[in-house]
Structure 1
Amino acid sequence: MTDDQRIRIAAETAAERSKAVERLLELVRIESPSRHRDASARIADALALEYRALGGAVVRTDDEEGSHLVVDWAGEGAPLLLIGHSDTVWPIGTIDGAVPLVETADAIAGPGVFDMKSGLVVIETAMRIANRLGRRRAVRLVVTADEEIGSPRSRVLVESAASGAVGAIGFESPHTDGSLKIGRRGSTRLRVDVVGREAHAALDPGAGVSAADELIDQLLVIRDDIARISAQGREVLCNVGSIVAPGKANVVNAAASAELGLRFIDHATEREVLASLGELSPIRPGAAIACAVLSNRPAWLASAADAAFGQRLSEAAGVDLGGRPAAGAGDVNFVAALGIPAVDGFGPRGRGAHAVDEQIVTSALSERIEQLVGILLAVA
């Protein structure tokens, strides 16, 4: 790309800055928590309207988790796949309470700003500029509505959208220094269910089997097994997301469950841990235990092809984008597992994903837009 082209891209980006900020504020005000179908439909409507205005062919899929979008823009060569999501971890009403929408001199804070509505704005704005500047490459965009809960419904959609793509860019938040994420842990969410037997806790406690006690002991077994594997240099992260054991203090509890979030560095470790969980046996006679996988993202070990793809993107963007592995998983894991060169973390710099201080650096929004325009115009 010539210096004149870069100057024009910078000028176009500067002209779009205020519009991009207003669009981000608009999208954040459309609160869109996972598993809220009406909210998901509202933000999908707003996104699809803009994608069509930009010349995109939009296919919408509505299911029990929300409204997913796949958009195709015609252009040169095989499509470049862009990956984002519209759902957030924040419930409706958060914007009026714990995480208000606040704009300061060079920061915008609010629910979903960093993860990842700012990334969606980068895509829209870059497409608008690239369309004005002429010849660009073909683009396919997938926006899922259930990423924050592991993409249980949209995985097939993402994998299908990846067919024929030359490479994939995810628009999750970057590393704190702005570097891309190349390689991410695998992530599995599962539920451990325990069935016991009710009995009076004082008159006949021996007739009962406490599902709550059994679950607690099983969680200790799981923790010890994970610690054993991690001690071998294959770190496994395990978070107990919830424990449910409804009942009364004077009745031996008959049912309990826990939802776990597990993260793995490679496929072999994942298989070993999940196999171990599948072989859990009751400690108490009369108890029953079962594990159900709720969602799964395969581990993404960065390849030479991923690194080379990242380098080509840096050259097209005119800046060293950087790149290193990250702990969190995302929808790009699905695409990378298919062998398609990929990077993630193309959202603007900021902080506070899933936290009350969630925010982006406003100037970073323009930086990412400018970089993406350069990539879209690099059709060779």
Structure 2
Amino acid sequence: MMIERLREYVRAETPTGDAAALNAFADRLAERYAELGATVRREQHPTGDHLIADFPGRADAPLLFLAHHDTVWPVGQLDGAMPWREADGIIHGPGVFDMKGGLVVLETALEQVAGHDHRPLRIVVVADEEIGSPSARELVTAEAKGVYAAVGFEPPHPNGDLKTSRWGSTRVRIEVTGREAHAALDPDSGVSAIDELVDQLIAVRRVVAAHDNVLCNVGTITGGGRTNVVPGSAAADIGFRFVDPQTEESVLDAIARLQPVREAQLDIKLLSNRPAWQPLPETDELLAKVAAAGRSVGQHIAGAPASGAADTNLTGWLGIPTLDGLGPVGKGAHAVHEQVIAATLAERAALVAAIITSL
């Protein structure tokens, strides 16, 4: 049953920004959560709706579940480089690991606890997690107020360990405006936006090199159009990862102070930001309770820090006891070999059900 549902979810391709596909998938989730007893709300956005589902329980603070229904893969990936495939207990397909598998685990656990005593449950499923949740940050922060703890359904560590902290993640765009000119007849009257962008990216590397524990990835570069025209515009999107808020502040301040090398204009934009979620004693206490729930269903549960970012950064940063990685075990997030171990779907569902009924 879980594999059949996962196949259905994977076949509903939901790339970030495809509002029609995302909203159709949100319709499926909303209908199912309502059938299981939730009051469902939608927060509409042009790039895809976010979903909030509240399940009643005894009069205690709710347990917050964080998930997303967007993937990094375009429509058509399933019929191209990444067909659905089951072999030797491994399931392959776009989004199967990040994070359609986690959504199936959550839904199955909700089915298993139906009729059992538990605290209220709140589910937030966002539509743009893969680009930093720019439209969902305020929603996640608002829905996290007053919760008992937060649990995320992102993939776990390769050995199945949960994630107990995360590096911060920030996306920055550097836009350069130069001046176009004929590249042969009048090159000196032009200002190359591409040359300026290259110099600025070198400056960014110098900033990063001056700090410890910073990851920097220039993800996209655009600019120019013809080799006989001095390019008048260029831009780059850069992803940064930070181990602590102090380093994040220092790096971003230095990036914001970058100055043009030539007669060009710079526009530096913050696209999205997830602050670092650092280790907390409260998270250690939550992990101990989750480990006890795991033992009740015959599972050994441990935790470790993670370098990747997710919406749990926000709850951890706010000081809310938080764990992530309740999705099935697998590998290949954002890669064409994306896969999950089929047997861990049921294992994770049993663990989540035990967490719900024991916390």
Instruction: Name the structure 1 match of 2:183.
Output: 201
User: Structure 2: how far apart are the matches of 1:278 and 1:298?
Assistant: 17
Q: Secondary structure at the match of 1:96?
A: coil
Q: CA deviation at 1:61?
A: 1.4
8 A Cα contact 2:90 2:340, kept in partner = yes
The yes-or-no answer on 1:216 pairing with 2:198 is yes
Q: 2:85 aligns with which of 102, 106, 110?
A: 102
Deviations 1:261-298 (A, max 9, x none): 000001011111111111111111x2111210000000
8 A Cα contact 1:175 1:345, kept in partner = yes
User: Structure 1: how far apart are the matches of 2:217 and 2:67?
Assistant: 25
Instruction: Name the structure 2 match of 1:374.
Output: 354
User: Structure 2: how far apart are the matches of 1:377 and 1:305?
Assistant: 20
Q: Secondary structure at the match of 2:217?
A: strand
8 A Cα contact 1:137 1:378, kept in partner = no
The yes-or-no answer on 1:91 pairing with 2:54 is no
Q: 2:276 aligns with which of 299, 304, 312?
A: 299
Q: CA deviation at 1:376?
A: 1.0
Q: Secondary structure at the match of 1:370?
A: helix
The yes-or-no answer on 1:254 pairing with 2:254 is no
Q: 1:308 aligns with which of 285, 289, 294?
A: 285
The AA in structure 2 aligned to 1:314 is A
Q: 1:115 aligns with which of 98, 110, 124?
A: 98
Instruction: Name the structure 1 match of 2:337.
Output: 357
Q: 2:220 aligns with which of 238, 242, 263?
A: 242
Please give the residue correspondences for 1:125-136 in structure 2 after superposition, counting only pairs within 5 Å. 125-132=108-115, 134-136=116-118
Q: Secondary structure at the match of 1:120?
A: helix
Instruction: Name the structure 2 match of 1:11.
Output: none
The yes-or-no answer on 1:227 pairing with 2:204 is no
Q: Which runs of 4+ in 1 moved over 6 A?
A: none
The yes-or-no answer on 1:340 pairing with 2:314 is no
TM-score (norm 2): 0.97
Q: CA deviation at 1:247?
A: 2.1
8 A Cα contact 1:317 1:373, kept in partner = no
The yes-or-no answer on 1:82 pairing with 2:59 is no
8 A Cα contact 2:280 2:319, kept in partner = no
Root-mean-square deviation over aligned CA pairs: 0.9
Q: Secondary structure at the match of 1:175?
A: coil
Q: Secondary structure at the match of 2:114?
A: helix
Instruction: Name the structure 2 match of 1:31.
Output: 13
User: Structure 2: how far apart are the matches of 1:103 and 1:79?
Assistant: 37
User: Structure 1: how far apart are the matches of 2:137 and 2:46?
Assistant: 14
8 A Cα contact 1:118 1:348, kept in partner = yes
Q: CA deviation at 1:136?
A: 2.0
The AA in structure 2 aligned to 1:31 is E
Higher helix fraction (1 or 2): 1
Instruction: Name the structure 2 match of 1:278.
Output: 256
8 A Cα contact 1:79 1:140, kept in partner = yes
User: Structure 1: how far apart are the matches of 2:260 and 2:118?
Assistant: 60
More divergent stretch after superposition (87-96 vs 75-84): 75-84
The AA in structure 2 aligned to 1:322 is A
The AA in structure 1 aligned to 2:89 is D
Q: How many residues align?
A: 355
The AA in structure 2 aligned to 1:359 is Q
The AA in structure 2 aligned to 1:370 is A
TM-score (norm 1): 0.92
Instruction: Name the structure 2 match of 1:6.
Output: none
8 A Cα contact 1:166 1:341, kept in partner = yes
User: Structure 2: how far apart are the matches of 1:261 and 1:73?
Assistant: 36
Q: Secondary structure at the match of 2:120?
A: strand
User: Structure 2: how far apart are the matches of 1:136 and 1:281?
Assistant: 56
8 A Cα contact 2:224 2:230, kept in partner = no
Residue identity over aligned pairs, in percent, reads 48
Instruction: Name the structure 2 match of 1:48.
Output: 30
Q: CA deviation at 1:147?
A: 0.1
Q: Secondary structure at the match of 1:375?
A: helix
Q: Secondary structure at the match of 1:213?
A: helix
Q: Secondary structure at the match of 2:78?
A: helix
Instruction: Name the structure 2 match of 1:124.
Output: 107
Q: CA deviation at 1:104?
A: 2.4
8 A Cα contact 1:278 1:290, kept in partner = no
